[in-house]
Amino acid sequence: MGKTLISTTGAISGGTAAVEFLTGLDSTYMVYEFHFYNIHPNTGEAASGGQAHWCWQSDVGTATTWEQQYQNTFIRGYSGEGNPGDQVIAYQNYYDIHIGQTSHTEDDYMPSGHTFHPYATLCYGIEADDTTDSTSGYLTLYDPANGTHNKKFNSRMNGTHHANEYTLYCYSNGYIHQGSAITRVRFKFSNGTIDSGVIKLFGIS
């Protein structure tokens, strides 16, 4: 499969609340991929523990309410730098989301009393207070211009978590519960803003 670069953010400026792709998703390609390069949350803005989830939302037409519903799974694996025996791979139901869900699980990285908006987590607990930590990976979105079926997606991300330096593997797949074309996507942290990174959108033929 060949990849065609459609657009890129360039270097994201510190203090950016969200990155929105309002054009580029149409019927030109059946498959689109967003690639993430060293996405880092802003130091001092993340919730308890200085960490935040990397998330995405979507919408239809020219709307920007970002209220499309998701149904997805979330599997994580990790390995601790300071303890070679501290390794886990398992389903993580804190970070999946279901049709009709009206609140996110409040944990160390999701502040209490936050305003709910449907989003799917790509990678969780990215360390903000260590400048060497970040998350990288990709999100694949299938046939977003389809006018009949729910829009399928999957993602694979690698991140660094916790002051004790855990490498994270985060895998998610699911669908956007929408028969109309998905035309726009945005990315943000669950709390705080984006400090740095690059996002690129590719069409796959």
pLDDT digits (tens, 9 = 90+) for 32-52: 999 999 999 987 665 555 778
User: Which tokens hold the place of 21?
Assistant: 């792709």
* Percent of the chain residues topping a pLDDT of 70: 86
Half-sphere exposure (Cβ direction) of 49: Cα atoms closer than 13 Å: 17
CA distances (Å), origin 188, targets 15, 108, 179: 11, 17, 24
pLDDT digits (tens, 9 = 90+) for 44-102: 665 555 778 899 999 999 998 888 989 999 999 989 887 777 888 999 887 888 787 66
Query: pTM higher than 0.85, yes or no?
Result: yes
d(CA 93, CA 106): 12
User: Which tokens hold the place of 151?
Assistant: 């829009």
User: Which tokens hold the place of 186?
Assistant: 């945005």
Contact 140, 155 (CB under 8 A): yes
Rounded mean pLDDT of 25-38?
97
Q: pLDDT band for position 14 (50/70/90)?
A: confident
